[in-house]
């Protein structure tokens, strides 16, 4: 996770005798790791693969129940607090992701690795990638240190962390992978190497990476969050449904590019990357219970190989709070581990081609082949037309062509609501999705509503991330009166000179 505002939460603690904990750990993990051990001893040379469940089989991987160490400094709660470690062990995290930060000493990183080992979890270590000096030397040093802690047991290594959030292209990332990973494979005693670690699912980035990565990754990974903490709770819950589409698309991308499916890791997940302490969600038992249940059930339905909640401590949505008590999210995590892994009560797999569930009513789907009344309302918008080039759901979207706009021009598109059969009322949240193709110049967008008083109402503009669908939202005031006049989307650019490009809009609706 990049430096976005902290995610995370709180909940009742359930005490289990130590003997039961030990029995649970042995039963839950022994068969999984025995497979790994047998494979490592099977006479194969070089890196061996961890036994993985068959894609979309009836088996749920124990590694679905993983978490991240915060490890922002050497005073991390997990490292210094025995009660925290006891609470974590009660929840049975089977895999733990460990960041490698330049400001941390190797001694602290080794202590963190030893803690992961003592908790009986599998390690996933985040390596340096395209940023920082002497990447090869730094990664070699940390892998040698992990060899010293874990020996020939499997260690997962992620190459970087959300480099695309910092603007790194798939080409640049893959070039660094091809330069560094072959050398790291020679150093690791039993390493599995994972990429491309996108901050959110990006099909274009993944396909470009898979086409050029040498060697091929052992697993693929990205991060999943569903909303900002400022968004309505129902929207945060509903947007979990998008994970089905992301996972299905990733498997289709793998089949199309490399002819097989690699195991999928969601190495960070939670409701919001910008969660704040006591934000009305992490301190709300009903929300956290509902959201976490649906999130883990969705990952299990899709037979994800491994996933890691962000994060176990030291953030706004932890599994264990500052008083060493299991949070609302931690309690659900523990209960579902017992249900799915120990008792074998697993949900049915998600079909290979799941239906996309949109956030609320899709008032403008553009599936009829028309622009549905939308048009350009200012200079700079040279064309507005229906297109099948990209679509958030279905096969059609609205293509907006911007020509020679400069920063501060603010061209926009809009639709008049007087001719529509419905309109968003007071307290409703309006949502649209905007897509900027990979390789485009930088553009921003914001959704606005023109009220019956002819005033514009909107949130701040959103920097559009290329190659993915960006949600745009605005929630009308609960005291707003009258029928809104228009809904629209305003654009801008941060390019140094006149900018031209195409932006796609889809699934405009409200609830």
DSSP track, 423-466 = ---TTPEEEEEEEB-TTPPPEEEEEEEE-TTS-EEE---EEPPB
| 247 pLDDT more than 70 | yes
Out of 37-51, 309-323, 355-369, least confident range = 37-51
Q: What are phi and psi of 110, to 5 degrees?
A: -65, -40
What pLDDT does 329 receive?
97
- How far apart CA 192 and CA 183 sit, in angstroms, is 13
State pLDDT tens for residues 164-192: 999 999 999 999 999 999 999 999 999 99
> Residue 474's closest CA among 489, 485, 463, 464?
489
- How far apart CA 491 and CA 508 sit, in angstroms, is 16
Q: What percent of the chain is modeled with pLDDT above 90? A: 69
Q: Do 61 and 304 contact (CB within 8 A), yes or no?
A: yes
Q: Do 14 and 319 contact (CB within 8 A), yes or no?
A: no
Out of 244-253, 355-364, 371-380, 434-443, least confident range = 355-364
Within 13 A of 33's CA, how many CA atoms are on the CB side? Answer: 17
Give 483's pLDDT tier (boundaries 50, 70, 90): confident
Tokens of 418: 């007087």
The pLDDT mean for the chain works out to: 85
| 8 pLDDT more than 50 | no
What pLDDT does 343 receive?
87
What pLDDT does 349 receive?
63
Tokens of 2: 């990049």
Distance, CA of 117 to chain centre: 26
- How far apart CA 30 and CA 33 sit, in angstroms, is 5
Taken in order 412, 165, 320, 97, the sign of the CA dihedral is positive
Cα separation values, 257 from 208, 238, 251, 264, 275, Å:
9, 31, 10, 15, 36
Angle made by CA atoms 139, 164, 268, in degrees to the nearest 5: 75
What pLDDT does 13 receive?
28
Out of 13-27, 348-362, 428-442, least confident range = 13-27
State pLDDT tens for residues 279-296: 999 999 999 999 999 999
What pLDDT does 454 receive?
85
What class has domain 361-510?
Answer: mainly beta
| 359 pLDDT more than 70 | no
Write down the CATH superfamily of domain 18-37+60-342: Glycosidases (3.20.20.80)
- How far apart CA 368 and CA 386 sit, in angstroms, is 9
Give 220's pLDDT tier (boundaries 50, 70, 90): very high
Q: Do 150 and 117 contact (CB within 8 A), yes or no?
A: yes
Tokens of 460: 């701040």
Q: Is the pTM of this model over 0.95?
A: no
Q: What share of the chain is helix, strand, coil (3-state, %, to 5)?
A: 30, 25, 45
| 3-class state of residue 125 by DSSP | strand
Give 223's pLDDT tier (boundaries 50, 70, 90): very high
> Residue 468's closest CA among 238, 164, 50, 67?
164
Give 362's pLDDT tier (boundaries 50, 70, 90): low
Q: Which helix (H) or strand (E) holds 128?
A: none
State pLDDT tens for residues 317-336: 999 999 999 999 999 999 99
Q: Do 176 and 196 contact (CB within 8 A), yes or no?
A: no
What pLDDT does 480 receive?
81
| 3-class state of residue 407 by DSSP | coil
What pLDDT does 90 receive?
95
Q: Which helix (H) or strand (E) holds 300?
A: helix 285-301
State pLDDT tens for residues 104-151: 999 999 999 999 999 999 999 999 998 766 899 999 999 999 999 999
State mean pLDDT over 48-74: 72
| 421 pLDDT more than 80 | no
What pLDDT does 81 receive?
97
Terminal CA-to-CA distance of the chain, rounded, Å?
30
Distance, CA of 354 to chain centre: 19
| 3-class state of residue 158 by DSSP | strand
Per the DSSP assignment, residues forming a β-bridge with 95 are: 66, 122
What pLDDT does 378 receive?
86
State pLDDT tens for residues 373-393: 899 988 899 999 999 989 887
Out of 161-170, 389-398, 416-425, least confident range = 416-425
State pLDDT tens for residues 266-282: 999 999 999 999 999 99
State pLDDT tens for residues 25-58: 334 444 333 333 333 333 333 333 333 333 434 5
In the chain, domain spans = 18-37+60-342, 361-510
| 89 pLDDT more than 90 | yes
- How far apart CA 505 and CA 62 sit, in angstroms, is 39
Cα separation values, 53 from 34, 88, 218, 224, 239, Å:
14, 25, 14, 22, 27
| 3-class state of residue 469 by DSSP | strand
Q: Do 329 and 11 contact (CB within 8 A), yes or no?
A: yes
Give 497's pLDDT tier (boundaries 50, 70, 90): confident
Give 417's pLDDT tier (boundaries 50, 70, 90): confident
């Amino acid at each position: 996770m990049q430096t976005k505002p902290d995610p995370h939460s709180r909940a009742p603690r359930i005490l289990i005798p130590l003997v039961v904990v030990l029995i649970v750990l042995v039963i839950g993990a022994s068969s999984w790791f025995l497979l790994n051990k047998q494979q490592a001893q099977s006479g194969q040379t070089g890196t061996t693969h961890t036994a993985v469940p068959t894609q979309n089989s009836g088996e749920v991987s124990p590694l679905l129940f993983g978490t991240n160490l915060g490890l922002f400094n050497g005073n991390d709660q997990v490292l210094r607090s025995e009660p925290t470690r006891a609470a974590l062990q009660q929840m049975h995290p089977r895999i733990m992701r460990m960041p490698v930060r330049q400001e941390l000493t190797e001694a602290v990183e080794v202590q963190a690795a030893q803690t992961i080992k003592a908790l009986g979890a599998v390690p996933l270590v985040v390596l340096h990638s395209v940023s920082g000096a002497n990447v090869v030397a730094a990664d070699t040093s940390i892998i040698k240190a992990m060899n010293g802690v874990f020996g020939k047991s499997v260690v997962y290594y992620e190459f970087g962390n959300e480099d695309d959030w910092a603007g790194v292209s798939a080409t640049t990332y893959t070039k660094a992978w091809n330069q560094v990973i072959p050398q790291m494979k020679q150093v690791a005693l039993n390493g599995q190497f994972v990429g491309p670690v996108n901050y959110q699912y990006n099909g274009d980035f993944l396909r470009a990476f898979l086409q050029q990565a040498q060697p091929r990754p052992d697993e693929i990974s990205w991060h999943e969050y569903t909303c900002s903490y400022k968004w309505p709770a129902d929207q945060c819950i509903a947007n979990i449904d998008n994970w089905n589409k992301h996972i299905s698309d990733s498997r289709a991308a793998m089949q199309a590019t490399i002819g097989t499916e690699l195991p999928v890791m969601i190495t960070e997940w939670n409701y919001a990357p910008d969660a704040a302490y006591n934000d009305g969600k992490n301190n709300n038992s009903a929300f956290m219970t509902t959201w976490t249940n649906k999130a883990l059930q969705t990952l299990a339905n899709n037979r994800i190989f491994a996933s890691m909640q962000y994060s176990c401590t030291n953030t706004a949505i932890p599994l264990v709070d500052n008083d060493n008590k299991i949070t609302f999210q931690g309690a659900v995590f523990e209960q579902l581990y017992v249900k799915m892994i120990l008792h074998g009560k697993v949900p049915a797999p998600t079909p290979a081609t799941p239906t996309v569930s949109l956030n609320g009513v899709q008032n403008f789907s553009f599936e009829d082949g028309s622009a549905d009344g939308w048009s350009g309302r200012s200079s700079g918008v040279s064309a507005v037309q229906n297109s099948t080039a990209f679509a958030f759901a279905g096969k059609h979207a609205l293509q907006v062509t911007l020509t020679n706009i400069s920063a501060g021009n603010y061209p926009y598109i809009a639709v008049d609501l007087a001719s529509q059969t419905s309109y968003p009322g007071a307290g409703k949240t309006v949502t649209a999705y905007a897509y900027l193709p990979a390789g485009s110049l930088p553009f921003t967008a914001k959704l606005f509503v023109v009220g019956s008083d002819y005033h514009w109402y909107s949130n701040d503009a959103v920097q559009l991330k290329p190659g993915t669908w960006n949600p745009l939202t605005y929630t009308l005031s609960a005291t707003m009166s009258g029928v809104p006049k228009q809904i629209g989307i305003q654009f801008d650019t941060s390019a140094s000179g006149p900018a031209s490009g195409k932006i796609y809009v889809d699934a405009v609706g409200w609830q």
